[in-house]
Chains A and B, each alone.
Chain A
Amino acid sequence: MQPTTAPAKPQFSPAAQAEIKRIISRYPAERSKSALLPLLHIAQAEFGGWVSPEVQDLVAETLNIRPIEVYEVATFYTMYNLKPVGQHVLEICRTGPCMLRGSDELTAHLERLTGAKVGETSPDGHFTLKEVECLAACGFAPVVQVREQYYESLDTPEAVDAMLSELRGQIHRPILPWEETGLPTSLQNN
């Protein structure tokens, strides 16, 4: 059945609006466009892990800039997802230092375990696989980033299993920039 009404226009939650106000205040009044990258992060967290054209328009409206100014930025930076994603986006580092410590094997292993190829979402909707460039954790390679969390030294099947089962147990929810999370384990013990 076709929907009879247009989908509701996205709106920021009151918590996000408060954060947006706080962020905009950091830049000179006539330079509020500076808040664009942080606002897109907030938008992505608020609206299911990706920024649809409607959400990008909302960001443009919030900052009082033209939509094209948001589109050109959203498509330039790799952290903004332009398509719907699964509950957890596994960002697998593929750059030299991680490759030296087995990132190719890790990617193949994750493809087998999740049933998704790189760039795809698993049939159960749990995981989207994404290859990324250097995550600045080369000494703890190979590395996968999932939102705020760095999973490091994923060079054994056990480590990978532990990561996936931990993530399967987590319910998807937006994590906004002011929330608290812990340090990656490698840095706790370093």
Chain B
Amino acid sequence: MGRKLLTEHVNVEGIETFEVYRKHGGYRAVEKALKTMTPEEVVDEVKKSGLRGRGGAGFPTGMKWSFLAKPEGVPRYLVCNADESEPGTFKDRYLMSKLPHLLIEGMIAGSYALGARTSYIYIRGELLYVLRILEKAIAEAYAAGFLGENILGSGYSLDLYVHPGAGAYICGEETALLESLEGKRGNPRNKPPFPAVQGLYARPTVVNNVESIASVVPILNDGGDEYAKLGVGKSTGTKLFSACGHLNKPGIYELELGLPVEEFIYSDEYCGGIWKGRELKAVVAGGSSVPILPKELILKTAAGENRLMTYESLSDGGFVTGTMLGSGGFIAMDETTCIVKNTWNFSRFYHHESCGQCSPCREGTGWLEKVLHRLEHGHGSMHDIDLVVSVAKQIEGNTICPLGEAAAWPVAAAVRHFRDEFEWHVKHPKEATQPGAVYRGAGVLV
């Protein structure tokens, strides 16, 4: 198994306590940053590391930090996005509940780099038990002098709080998250202004994913250049992947970026192959929003090269034959999976989670859900297949936030790669609506 930077000590007894975490090298990154580095030097190390946002967008974290406006006398904020809700993604919950001090350490180093004096961790409301774990750890960090006034005698002071959401996928979008943190509905804001200029309380703000912030700790400990040596090309370092669906060993895996997808799925070291001895049919590689790929295209690119677990390799071929690494939520589907049903399920999700602000998304996600429902339930027409593609196209690019794209991409990709299966539902409604019925290719009976 490859090198682990985040989860190396995850199974150590008591690692969730300050004492044990500290014994295993915890808070060295904070000591190093506050005692030997300027905030600018911390930002530079993160830039050198090539770390890319681990929440899904993959935007370089160091660059995001350098965009932060720094007007004199105006408070700035670092907000951690712990609103993990992208279907298939469950890495942040794991990281926070097992290694709360890793996130806190990253928050202190990050806040120092950005000059924030108050920082918030916005956690999804369902994870109230994780909120308690974090609050306990934060209290320990205050008691040990790593939070509060004049940390380690450096003159730098920081207060850190956890803030719960209350059930809304949209609050994972950074401006909706800020609205929610201000006590409002989670309606995404028009940009510009970007949060780096006007974020929380209209102050300059950086919003980063849990895993991105945690990754700052090994980056500072080992140096950005060392971190950048791991991985392949612009996909540096390690990343947590949460594997689910029809796998023998679903769970959370920290991988050095660059592992072949085939090895990740089939090796006993990782997911251990497809359950019940079945064949793989399709994979959604980066959370429900990214395009689904059939087995042939997830294992190999269109050019026949091994597909790797990197940002570049997974998106090789664009949306015609590729997908995205996204959040690392890896959903595997076996040969008994109905793609039409699955696509309808995801569309229902996006319809449910649309905040309702933009008409194309509010109405379009409803259309997608309804038309896919009738296709799945044997009442669809050939025209409906083109209709969902057309609706998806009209949502895409026409909304304030990327929920529009997140709703559109899975539908467009499902029809792109599994059109036969949609047509089979139209042509053979009786067979298609039998319990457990699945299309297995032209001329093959159920």
- Bound-complex Cα distance A97 to B244 (A): 7
B243 / chain A contacts, CB cutoff of 8 Å: 139
- Bound-complex Cα distance A126 to B113 (A): 51
Residue of A nearest to B129 (CB): A148
Q: Mark A129-140, 1 if CB is under 8 A from B, else 0.
A: 000111111111
Q: Mark B76-87, 1 if CB is under 8 A from A, else 0.
A: 000000001111
Counting contact residues on chain A (CB < 8 A from B), the size range is: 35 or more
Please judge, given known A-B contacts A37-B163, A80-B166, whether A136 and B89 are in contact too, CB under 8 Å.
Answer: yes
Q: Is the CB of A138 within 8 A of B345?
A: no
* For the complex of A and B, 10 pairs with smallest distance between CB atoms: A77-B166, A36-B183, A78-B167, A79-B167, A138-B244, A33-B183, A139-B250, A76-B185, A134-B87, A79-B166
Surface stretch bound by B, among A116-124, A156-164, A178-186: A178-186
B152 to chain A, nearest CB (A): 23
**Interface check B182, CB cutoff 8 A:** yes
A150 / chain B contacts, CB cutoff of 8 Å: 129
**Interface check A16, CB cutoff 8 A:** no
**Interface check B67, CB cutoff 8 A:** no
Q: Mark A7-45, 1 if CB is under 8 A from B, else 0.
A: 000000000000000000010100101111110110000
Q: Is the CB of B182 within 8 A of A95?
A: no
Q: Is the CB of B333 within 8 A of A100?
A: yes
Q: Is the CB of A73 within 8 A of B87?
A: no
**Interface check A187, CB cutoff 8 A:** yes
A137's partner among B90, B159, B288, B331 (CB-CB below 8 A) is: B90
Sample 18 A-B pairs with CB under 8 A, ordered by A number.
A28-B201, A31-B201, A33-B182, A34-B163, A37-B180, A37-B183, A77-B166, A78-B166, A78-B167, A95-B346, A96-B284, A97-B331, A101-B245, A137-B90, A138-B242, A139-B90, A139-B242, A139-B252
B178 to chain A, nearest CB (A): 10
Identify the B interface with A (CB < 8 A). Answer: 84-90, 92-94, 97-98, 124-129, 131-133, 135, 159, 161, 163-169, 180-186, 201, 242-246, 250-252, 284, 288, 329, 331, 333, 337, 341-342, 345-346, 349, 352-353, 355
A173 to chain B, nearest CB (A): 15
Please judge, given known A-B contacts A95-B345, A96-B331, A136-B124, whether A78 and B168 are in contact too, CB under 8 Å.
Answer: yes
- Bound-complex Cα distance A31 to B242 (A): 37
Q: Is the CB of B129 within 8 A of A181?
A: yes
Q: Is the CB of B164 within 8 A of A183?
A: no
From DSSP, what is the main secondary structure of chain B's interface residues?
Answer: mixed
**Interface check A4, CB cutoff 8 A:** no
Please judge, given known A-B contacts A37-B166, A78-B166, A139-B243, whether A73 and B345 are in contact too, CB under 8 Å.
Answer: no
A80 to chain B, nearest CB (A): 6
**Interface check A82, CB cutoff 8 A:** no
**Interface check A177, CB cutoff 8 A:** yes
Please judge, given known A-B contacts A96-B288, A100-B337, A139-B251, whether A38 and B331 are in contact too, CB under 8 Å.
Answer: no
**Interface check A190, CB cutoff 8 A:** yes
Residue of A nearest to B171 (CB): A77
Residue of A nearest to B131 (CB): A177
Q: Is the CB of A139 within 8 A of B164?
A: no
Give chain A interface residues in 56-100, CB to chain B under 8 Å. Answer: 63, 65, 69, 72-73, 76-80, 91, 94-97, 99-100
Please judge, given known A-B contacts A38-B164, A95-B87, A136-B92, whether A76 and B186 are in contact too, CB under 8 Å.
Answer: yes
**Interface check A114, CB cutoff 8 A:** no
**Interface check A141, CB cutoff 8 A:** yes
Q: Is the CB of B87 within 8 A of A34?
A: no
Please judge, given known A-B contacts A33-B182, A136-B93, whether A99 and B345 are in contact too, CB under 8 Å.
Answer: yes
Please judge, given known A-B contacts A139-B243, A148-B129, A180-B132, whether A41 and B166 are in contact too, CB under 8 Å.
Answer: yes
Please judge, given known A-B contacts A79-B126, A100-B246, whether A183 and B97 are in contact too, CB under 8 Å.
Answer: yes
Q: Is the CB of A73 within 8 A of B167?
A: no
A148 / chain B contacts, CB cutoff of 8 Å: 128-129
Contacts A80-B167, A133-B169 aside, 8 further interface pairs with beta carbons under 8 A come to: A31-B201, A34-B163, A69-B183, A96-B288, A132-B167, A134-B349, A140-B250, A181-B132
Q: Is the CB of A77 within 8 A of B168?
A: yes
A43 to chain B, nearest CB (A): 11
B345 / chain A contacts, CB cutoff of 8 Å: 94-96, 99
Please judge, given known A-B contacts A133-B353, A140-B250, whether A97 and B164 are in contact too, CB under 8 Å.
Answer: no
- Bound-complex Cα distance A26 to B323 (A): 41
Q: Is the CB of B132 within 8 A of A178?
A: yes
